[in-house]
Every structure is written in structure tokens, then in C-alpha cells.
């Protein structure tokens, strides 16, 4: 019985959440920053520097719709990956911020802070991709990252409303499985 209590205490710990967040953050960063290099080498464009900027929202989508089904499918998969990558980040971020908000209207505040964090992190990734020449910097990635972070924050609000004081434990259990999946996914595709 003591082992179960110890495991429950570990799963409810903010340190566990912080460690899982950091581990997922590193895996997500590797995936986001370096996936373009491997995609370019996969299709035989090894001499391409990958440095380009697109500030027009969904311009690539318009081109893909008028181009080929393969290009459209690839782009939609890329959008989905960017969106889904930020959902756990948003959930972790909201979970870590919620205890630091101590005034009226806290739920809206930590959700808003999480969306802002997701937006700034998405912009930082795009700037780093441009600076390191490891992929195209695209406003669509910023939009998908911010949307994924918002969904993650709202997912945390939903988890908190259903599980109350156990919300951190639920986030850590879900986060552990998502982080393990991200590590496996990153190991396979990077």
C-alpha cells in the first residue's frame, strides 16, 4: 500500500509535471526544428538551404489545393502535427501556471497566459528555423501552434473541472504516455 501512496504522491507532484514538461519540450523542439531537414533529404533536396519565410496565412494551403492531392495531403498532415504537438505543451503550461494565479478570474488568466506562451514559442521556433536554415518559416506554423496550445489549455480546464484536486495527477499520467509516444515518434522519424 505504501508503494501506491508513494506513486500517487509522485504523480501529484509539481516536480513531476515540470520534469515531464521539460522532457516533452525538448522532444517537441527537436521535432519542430529539425523535421524540415529530414523531409528535404527524404525527397532528395539535400542542396536546398531551407531558408524561406511566408507571412501570408494559409498561402501554402491555397497552392496545395490547386496543385496535387499528394501535396495537399502532406500539408494537412504537417498542419495536424504542428497543432497536435502544441496540445500537450498547452496542457502542461496551464497546469504549471494555475497554481501561480491567486486572484479573481484566475482560470481565464492562466488560459490566456498559456495561449500567449504558445504564440511566443511558435514565433521563437519559426525565427530559430530561419536563423539555423533548417526549414521554412511559415505563419501557418505559428497559427497551428497557438491553436494547439489553446486547445491544450482548454483541455486542462476540462480535466480540472472533472477531476478537481486530482487534475495534476491526471495531467501527469496523460503527459507521461504522450511524452513516451513523442520520444518513440522522434526516435523513429529523426
* 8-54 pLDDT, tens digit each: 677 778 888 899 899 889 888 888 887 755 554 444 444 445 578 88
Instruction: Report residue 99 as a C-alpha cell.
Output: 497554481
Residue 134 cell numbers, joined: 533548417
Cα(111)–Cα(152) distance, integer angstroms: 9
pLDDT at 41: 44
Nearest-CA neighbor of 91 among 176, 175, 186?
175
Where residue 50 falls (left for φ over 0; alpha for ψ -120 to 50; beta otherwise) is left
Q: What region, left, alpha or beta, does residue 137 occupy, with left being phi > 0 and alpha being psi -120 to 50 degrees?
A: beta
DSSP structure class, residue 53: E
Average pLDDT, the chain: 81
Strands, DSSP E only, in the chain? 53-54, 137-138
Residue % of the chain over a pLDDT of 90: 26
The residue among 125 and 179 whose pLDDT is bigger is: 125
Domain boundary assignment for the chain = 20-189
Amino acid at each position: 500500500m505504501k508503494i501506491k501512496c508513494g506513486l500517487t504522491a509522485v504523480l501529484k507532484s509539481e516536480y513531476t509535471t515540470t520534469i515531464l514538461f521539460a522532457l516533452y519540450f525538448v522532444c517537441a523542439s527537436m521535432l519542430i526544428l529539425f523535421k524540415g531537414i529530414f523531409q528535404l533529404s527524404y525527397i532528395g533536396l539535400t542542396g536546398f538551404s531551407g531558408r524561406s519565410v511566408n507571412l501570408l496565412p494559409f498561402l501554402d494551403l491555397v497552392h496545395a489545393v490547386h496543385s496535387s492531392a499528394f501535396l495537399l495531403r502532406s500539408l494537412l498532415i504537417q498542419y495536424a502535427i504542428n497543432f497536435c504537438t502544441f496540445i500537450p505543451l498547452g496542457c502542461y503550461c496551464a497546469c504549471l501556471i494555475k497554481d501561480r494565479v491567486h486572484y479573481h478570474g484566475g482560470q481565464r488568466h492562466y488560459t490566456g497566459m498559456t495561449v500567449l506562451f504558445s504564440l511566443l514559442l511558435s514565433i521563437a521556433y519559426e525565427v530559430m528555423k530561419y536563423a539555423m536554415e533548417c526549414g521554412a518559416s511559415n505563419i501557418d506554423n505559428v497559427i497551428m501552434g497557438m491553436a494547439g496550445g489553446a486547445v491544450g489549455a482548454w483541455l486542462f480546464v476540462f480535466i480540472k473541472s472533472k477531476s478537481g484536486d486530482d487534475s495534476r495527477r491526471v495531467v501527469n499520467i496523460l503527459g507521461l504516455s504522450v511524452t513516451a509516444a513523442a520520444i518513440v515518434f522522434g526516435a523513429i522519424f529523426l
